[in-house]
């Protein structure tokens, strides 16, 4: 498969994931974090949402990758109460420096990070490609 087809498939996968998360109701614990971090769910995209299937003592963990409107990538780890969905604790880290956002890279053309930024711009109606 040529790189343009690979890029198209990768971008479509990113878009489907981002749109799926946008259509879901925002859990209370995530609303709390976004509010504290001054992030707007209407202008960011969730790129990954890994919910721990086990809860321990009524506490569950979640790991989320976020791309914000400023095209910054964030890794969010949080714990919440499974009964109230209230936030217990969280840690958020800017991981933009480790995400490659190259438009042209030998062998793959556009990187996953670049394609994620394209998806964000398209979803937000800002097609500065």
pLDDT tens string 101-122? 988 777 778 899 999 999 999 9
The count of residues in the chain is 129
pLDDT at 109: 83
pLDDT at 3: 80
As a whole number of angstroms, the distance between CA 25 and CA 17 comes to: 14
Q: Are 116 and 48 in contact (CB under 8 A)?
A: no
pLDDT at 129: 41
Q: How confident is the model at residue 90 (pLDDT cuts 50, 70, 90)?
A: very high
Q: Is the pTM of this model over 0.85?
A: yes
Tell whether the model's pLDDT for residue 127 goes beyond 90.
no
**Structure-block tokens of residue 112:** 């996953």
């Amino acid at each position: 498969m040529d790189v343009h087809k690979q890029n198209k498939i990768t971008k479509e996968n990113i878009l489907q994931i981002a749109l799926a998360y946008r259509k879901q109701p925002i859990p209370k614990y995530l609303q709390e974090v976004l509010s504290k971090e001054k992030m707007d769910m209407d202008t960011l995209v969730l790129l990954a949402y890994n919910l721990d299937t086990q809860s321990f003592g009524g506490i569950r963990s979640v790991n989320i990758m976020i791309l914000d409107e400023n095209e910054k990538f964030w890794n969010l780890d949080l714990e919440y109460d499974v009964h109230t969905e209230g936030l217990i604790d969280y840690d958020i880290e800017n991981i933009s420096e480790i995400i490659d956002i190259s438009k042209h890279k030998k062998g793959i053309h556009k990187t996953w990070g670049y394609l994620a930024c394209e998806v964000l711009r398209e979803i937000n109606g800002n097609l500065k490609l």
